[in-house]
């Protein structure tokens, strides 16, 4: 019989020790955009490559004259000065401009997974819109295969300590400026409305995701409807309600306005159906999805026991890591050890993996949390799961 250990007093830890703790937490990042999460140094290197520049320009993307790391550091991080979601999305043009080859896509995915694993993300779901990377030499499947290769390589290097998935994004809006693929679509369908083209392009991506699974790309685990303004971020509880009832969405990205619903039904539905709201604190403030961190619904979501895992959204564009987001959540919302534990576990519970795999990850995460002093009681199942993940350490 082992007695439960006394939980950690977070407030008594020094800031440096707290930082270490947030980094050591076993984590999931369920909402992380590939094209918003590259290393600045990599974007600079790629944007200075004459061949890649030429290709980007030929496909209609504009790369800045000065693509030094110093300049890009500023350009790619609109940060708190960002005026709106639209402005926040600008850096993606530069990044998508350089991600037009299998090699660059593979590298971007690999580096993102390695960076996440370095801060103890055990499970990462990378999302992106394949159509933004399609060109005459690279089709949708090729795009997904390249990203899959990068993730597979990172997983292999980390043994059982890293699992990854791919979320295929469709854009709810159509705009020729999105990129090469969208311009080509417009050339072929001159008399179709933007709305019609948006529906058609989305349907195409959904079919691409299904085809990828059929061909054995098992990392493709989900399909996401993304895009500015018409998502829950810019729209409101009505769109969230539609997504979970009409479209059977299992998770909602951002969903910062979920609490604006006057009736309790939506919250009740989310709890009942274990729908997770992916919380991206820094990004939500930067895109003005919330007026300030203090007004972020995260605290109330926790109190209401809605699954609310912390995620990064865009590591590069927001200039953050997931450990930073845990630190921020702790500072702003005064998380207790119990709540911290709950937030971590929400992520594993909401992961798009098989039941067996989710169980293994959850048990191992519980053992690790206990080891870190964040509650729970000793259990052989949990210890065994942790040992299998970390190679019997
Ligand atoms: Zn997002």
Can you give the pLDDT at residue 8? 86
Can you give the pLDDT at residue 234? 54
Q: What is the mean pLDDT of residues 44-61?
A: 96
Q: What is the mean pLDDT of residues 305-319?
A: 95
| 253 pLDDT more than 70 | yes
Tell me the C-alpha distance between 364 and 122, whole Å: 10
| 79 pLDDT more than 80 | no
What whole-number percentage of the chain has pLDDT above 90?
A: 75
Q: What is the mean pLDDT of residues 285-313?
A: 94
Q: How far is the CA of 100 from the centre of ligand 1 (A)?
A: 21
Q: How far is the CA of 20 from the centre of ligand 1 (A)?
A: 26
Residue 322 near residue 116, CB atoms below 8 Å: yes
**Tens of pLDDT along 93-102?**
899 999 999 9
Q: Fold for domain 18-353?
A: TIM Barrel (3.20.20)
Annotated active-site positions, please? 233
- Which residues surround the ion ligand 1 when the cut-off is CB under 5 Å? 313
Q: How far is the CA of 170 from the centre of ligand 1 (A)?
A: 12
pTM of the model: 0.94
Q: What is the mean pLDDT of residues 294-313?
A: 96
Residue entry with tokens 């030499």: 137
The 10 Å Cβ neighbour count of residue 216 is 9
Residue 80: pLDDT band with limits 50, 70, 90: low
**Tens of pLDDT along 152-198?**
999 999 998 999 999 999 988 898 888 999 999 999 999 999 999 99
Q: How far is the CA of 70 from the centre of ligand 1 (A)?
A: 25
Q: How far is the CA of 2 from the centre of ligand 1 (A)?
A: 43
Q: How far is the CA of 311 from the centre of ligand 1 (A)?
A: 9
- Provide the sign of the torsion angle of the four alpha carbons 280, 281, 285, 286, taken in this order: negative
* Residue-range domain boundaries for the chain: 18-353, 354-393
Can you give the pLDDT at residue 228? 62
Tell me the C-alpha distance between 244 and 254, whole Å: 14
């Amino acid at each position: 019989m082992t007695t439960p250990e006394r939980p950690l007093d977070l407030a008594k830890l020094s800031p440096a020790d707290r930082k270490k703790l947030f980094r050591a937490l076993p984590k999931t990042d369920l909402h992380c955009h590939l094209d918003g999460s590259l290393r600045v140094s990599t974007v600079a290197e790629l944007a200075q490559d004459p061949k890649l520049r030429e290709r980007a320009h030929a496909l209609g993307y504009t790369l800045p004259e000065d693509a030094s790391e110093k300049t890009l550091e500023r350009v790619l991080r609109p940060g708190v000065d960002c005026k709106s979601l639209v402005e926040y999305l600008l850096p993606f043009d530069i990044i998508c401009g350089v991600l037009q080859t299998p090699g660059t896509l593979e590298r971007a995915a690999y580096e993102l997974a390695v960076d996440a694993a370095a801060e103890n993300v055990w499970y990462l779901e990378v999302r992106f819109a394949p159509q933004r990377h399609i060109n005459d030499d690279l089709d949708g499947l090729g795009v997904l295969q390249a990203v899959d290769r990068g993730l597979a390589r990172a997983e292999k290097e980390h043994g059982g300590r890293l699992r990854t998935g791919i979320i295929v994004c469709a854009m709810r809006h159509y705009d020729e400026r999105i990129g090469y693929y969208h311009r080509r679509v417009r050339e072929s369908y001159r008399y179709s409305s933007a709305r019609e083209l948006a529906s058609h392009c989305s349907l195409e991506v959904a079919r691409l995701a299904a085809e990828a699974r059929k061909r054995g790309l098992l990392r493709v685990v989900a399909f996401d409807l993304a895009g500015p303004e018409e998502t829950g971020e810019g729209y409101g509880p009505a769109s969230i309600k539609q997504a979970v009832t009409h479209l059977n969405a299992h998770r909602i990205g951002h969903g910062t306005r979920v609490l604006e619903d006057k009736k309790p039904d939506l919250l009740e539905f989310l709890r009942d159906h274990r729908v997770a709201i992916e919380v991206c604190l820094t990004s939500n403030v930067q895109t003005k999805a919330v007026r300030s961190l203090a007004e972020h619904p995260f605290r109330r979501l926790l109190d209401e026991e809605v699954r609310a895992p912390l995620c990064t959204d865009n590591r590069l564009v927001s200039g953050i890591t997931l450990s930073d987001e845990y630190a921020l959540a702790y500072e702003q919302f005064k998380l207790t050890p119990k709540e911290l534990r709950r937030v971590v576990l929400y992520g594993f519970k909401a992961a798009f993996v098989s039941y067996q795999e989710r169980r293994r990850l959850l048990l191992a995460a519980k053992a690790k949390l206990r080891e870190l002093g964040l509650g729970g009681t000793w259990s052989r199942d949990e210890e065994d799961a942790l040992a299998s993940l970390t190679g019997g350490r």
